[in-house]
Structure 1
Amino acid sequence: MKRRSILTALLGIAIAHASFSVAHANPSNRVQASAPVQVQFDRHGNPVLGSAAFVVANQRTGDILSERAADRVMPIASITKIMTAMVVLDAGQSLSEVLTITADDIDRLKGTGSRLPVGARLTREEMLHIALMSSENRAASALARHYPGGQRAFIEAMNVKARMLGMWTTRFADSTGLDPRNVASAHDLVKLVQAASTYPLIREFSTADHRFVRVGNGQLRYGNSNGLVREPDWSVSLSKTGFIREAGRCLVMQTWVRGEPVIMVLLNSEGRYTRTADAKRLKHWLETTGAYRVAAAPARRGGS
C-alpha cells in the first residue's frame, strides 16, 4: 500500500508538470487555465469578502442573501452617477442637445484629470453615456450645470429622489461622487440599483463595452470601468464602479445567477482588484454553496 501511494503521488506530480508545461507553451492556454475562485466562509456560512461592507440581494423578491455592515453610512464615490443619471432622465431634457465643457467642470476638489478638454461639445446623451460607463467626471458635472436651476437645483433633486426611494441614510453634495460627503449605506444602494434598473438607458449605457465620441477633429474611445461586463460567464444588466480615497473601491451591479436577478453592492475595497474578486466570490458562492438561498427565496405578492 505504501508503494502504491508513492507511485500515485509521483504520477500526480508528472501530470501536474505536464499541464504546467502545456499551459506555458501556449499563451492562449494560460488564459483558459485560470485559477478557480477561492471562497472562505464565516461561522454562519456567509462568504468572507475583502470589502468593508456588502449586500447581495434577490432583486425579484427583495430577500437579502448575505450582508455585512450593510447599515454603515459610507462615502460612495462615483456610485453617485447612477442617481445623477436618474435625475437627468427624470427631467425629460432633450438628449440630443449639445452641452459644452467649461472651466466650471474642472475637478478642483481632488485634482483629477479628464480626457474632455474645456470647450469640448457633446450631446447630453453622450455625456450621460460616458459618465455611467467610464465614470467621466466632467461629463457628470456638465449634466448638472445644464439642469434647470443649475447645479444647486440638481443636487437638491438628487436628495429629493433619494427620499422618494426610501434611501434615508443617503446624502448627495455633488453630481460626480468626487465629494466624500456623498454617502449612503449598502442597504440604500440596493434600493438605488433597484430603481435604476427600471431605466432602459441606464441599463444600456452602464453595461456597454465601449463608446467612441468625437471631440474636436478626433475621436476618443471610452471603455467600461467594470471589466466583468466583458466576461462571457457574467450576465450584467446594470453596473457602476466608484473610487475616491475616502470611499475605497466600490461596485454595484444587477446581474443574473441561477436564473434569478441579483443585486450586489460592494463598498470600501482596499485593493485595486478586490471589488472584482469579491463579486466573483459572491457569484461562485451563489452558484454552489449558497445556491439554496437563491432557490428558496419566496416570491412576494402584492408589491415589489
Structure 2
Amino acid sequence: MLRLHLFLIVLVVASLVPLIAHAKRVAAKPVVHARAAIAVDLATGRALYAKHADERLPIASLTKLLTAMVVLDSKRSLHKPARITDADVDRLKWSRSRLPVGSLLLRKTMLHIALMSSENRAAFALSRDYPGGRPGFVRAMNHTAQRLHMRRSHFVDPTGLSPHNVSTARDLTRLARAAYRYPTIREYATSHHKLVLGGAGPLMYRNTDPLVYRASWRVGLQKTGFTNEAGHCLIVIAPVHGRPTVFVILGAPNAQGHFQDAVNLRSWLLRCPVHHR
C-alpha cells in the first residue's frame, strides 16, 4: 500500500511540473530593451504592461500621426496639389529625401508617404501649406495634444526631426487612440507601397514597418520613427485575444529592436489571457 501511495504521489508531482513551468513562463516579464514601452487595451484604456511609461522622451517621426490629424482636421481638400520648395529641406539633420525641390504632388499623396514612409519633405510641405503657415500648424499640433490630454507632450515641428518634439509612452497611447478613429490615417499608415509621380520620375515608396506585412498581426495602425536622440520608436495597434491593443516603444537601441520589443510584448500577452479580462 505504501508503494502505491508513493507511486501516486510521483504521478501527481510529474503532472504538476509542466504546469508549474508554464506558469513561470507566463509570469515572467517580457524582454523589452527600449528605454520606455507600454501596451494598452484600446477599448478600456487599461495598461497591460508599462516600463518608464511616463518618462518624457524625444519621439522622432511618431510625431507624424499628430501631423496627419491636424492636416485632416483642417478640412482642406486632399486633392489640391502642393509643391516641395526650398523651405521644406531639412536643415537641422540634413535628412535624405527622395522628393526633389520643385516636385508637385497632391496633398493626399504627401500625407500618404509621410505616414507610410516617413517622408519628411512631404510633412514639411503640408505644414507650410496651412492657414498661418508652419507656425500656425505647430500651434494647432500643440492645441490638439492638449485636447487629447497629452499633458507631458510638446511639439515644435511636424516631422519629429527636432529632439524638442517630446512625449511619453502613455501620452502616445492617447494619440494612437485618436488617430485610429481616422479611416484615412489607418489606410495610409498600413498600406504596403505607393507609386508617386510628380518628382524627378516615378518613385516607389514602401512601408517602413515590417509588421504590416505579417498577416498574423493584422495591423490596424502603425508609425515608426528614428533620430539619434530618440532612438528607434514604434506605435502599432494590433489585436490580442480579439481586442485592439496599442503598443508604444520608445528609444530601442538598434534598428530592429523596436519591432522585436513589440513582438515580445504581444507574444507575452498572447500567453497571458488574464491580462485582457
How does the TM-score come out when normalised to structure 2?
0.89
Counterpart in 2 of 1:76? 59
Distance in 2, matches of 1:42 and 1:192, equals 32
Counterpart in 1 of 2:12? none
How many pairs are equivalent? Answer: 254
SS in structure 1 of the partner of residue 197 of structure 2? strand
Counterpart in 2 of 1:202? 185
Question: What do the CA deviations read for 1:85-127 (whole angstroms, capped 9, x no partner)?
Answer: 0000000001000000000111100011100000000011000
Distance in 2, matches of 1:216 and 1:250, equals 29
Verify the 8 A CA contact 2:103 2:200 in the aligned structure 1.
Answer: no
Q: Runs ≥4 in structure 1, deviation > 2 angstroms?
A: 41-46, 215-218
Counterpart in 2 of 1:146? 129
Task: Letter of the 2:205 partner, please give it.
Answer: Y
Q: Find out whether 1:215 has 2:198 as its counterpart.
A: yes
Counterpart in 1 of 2:17? none
Task: Letter of the 2:149 partner, please give it.
Answer: G
Distance in 2, matches of 1:217 and 1:293, equals 51
Task: Letter of the 1:141 partner, please give it.
Answer: F
Q: Find out whether 1:110 has 2:101 as its counterpart.
A: no
Counterpart in 2 of 1:242? 225
Q: Shift of the alpha carbon at 1:258?
A: 1.1
Counterpart in 2 of 1:293? 275
Counterpart in 2 of 1:49? 32
Distance in 2, matches of 1:163 and 1:217, equals 40
Verify the 8 A CA contact 1:42 1:48 in the aligned structure 2.
Answer: no
Ranges in structure 1 where 5+ consecutive residues have no aligned partner: 1-40, 297-304
Counterpart in 2 of 1:230? 213
Task: Letter of the 2:274 partner, please give it.
Answer: Y
Over the aligned positions, Cα root-mean-square deviation in angstroms equals 1.4
Distance in 2, matches of 1:42 and 1:245, equals 34
Verify the 8 A CA contact 1:249 1:269 in the aligned structure 2.
Answer: yes
Q: Shift of the alpha carbon at 1:42?
A: 10
Q: Find out whether 1:134 has 2:111 as its counterpart.
A: no
Distance in 2, matches of 1:218 and 1:250, equals 31
Q: Find out whether 1:167 has 2:150 as its counterpart.
A: yes
Ranges in structure 2 where 5+ consecutive residues have no aligned partner: 1-23
Distance in 2, matches of 1:160 and 1:42, equals 44
Q: Shift of the alpha carbon at 1:215?
A: 2.5
Distance in 2, matches of 1:208 and 1:43, equals 34
Q: Shift of the alpha carbon at 1:286?
A: 1.1
Change (3 A) 1:219 1:148: same
Question: What do the CA deviations read for 1:163-200 (whole angstroms, capped 9, x no partner)?
Answer: 00000000000001000100001110000000000000
Q: Shift of the alpha carbon at 1:45?
A: 3.7
Counterpart in 1 of 2:262? 279
Equivalent of residue 164 in structure 2, options 181, 187, 211: 181
SS in structure 1 of the partner of residue 98 of structure 2? coil
Verify the 8 A CA contact 2:152 2:167 in the aligned structure 1.
Answer: yes
Q: Shift of the alpha carbon at 1:218?
A: 2.4
Q: Shift of the alpha carbon at 1:216?
A: 4.2
Verify the 8 A CA contact 1:285 1:291 in the aligned structure 2.
Answer: no
Change (3 A) 1:109 1:42: farther
SS in structure 2 of the partner of residue 215 of structure 1? coil
Counterpart in 2 of 1:266? 249
Identity %: 46
Verify the 8 A CA contact 2:196 2:203 in the aligned structure 1.
Answer: yes
Verify the 8 A CA contact 2:80 2:107 in the aligned structure 1.
Answer: yes
Q: Shift of the alpha carbon at 1:282?
A: 1.1
Distance in 1, matches of 2:193 and 2:212, equals 10
Question: What do the CA deviations read for 1:46-80 (whole angstroms, capped 9, x no partner)?
Answer: 31201110000100111100000000000000000
Counterpart in 1 of 2:84? 101
Question: What do the CA deviations read for 1:218-274 (whole angstroms, capped 9, x no partner)?
Answer: 210000010100012111000000000000000001111110100000000011111
Counterpart in 2 of 1:300? none
Verify the 8 A CA contact 2:249 2:258 in the aligned structure 1.
Answer: yes
Verify the 8 A CA contact 1:249 1:267 in the aligned structure 2.
Answer: yes
How does the TM-score come out when normalised to structure 1?
0.82
Verify the 8 A CA contact 1:248 1:270 in the aligned structure 2.
Answer: yes
Distance in 1, matches of 2:61 and 2:248, equals 13
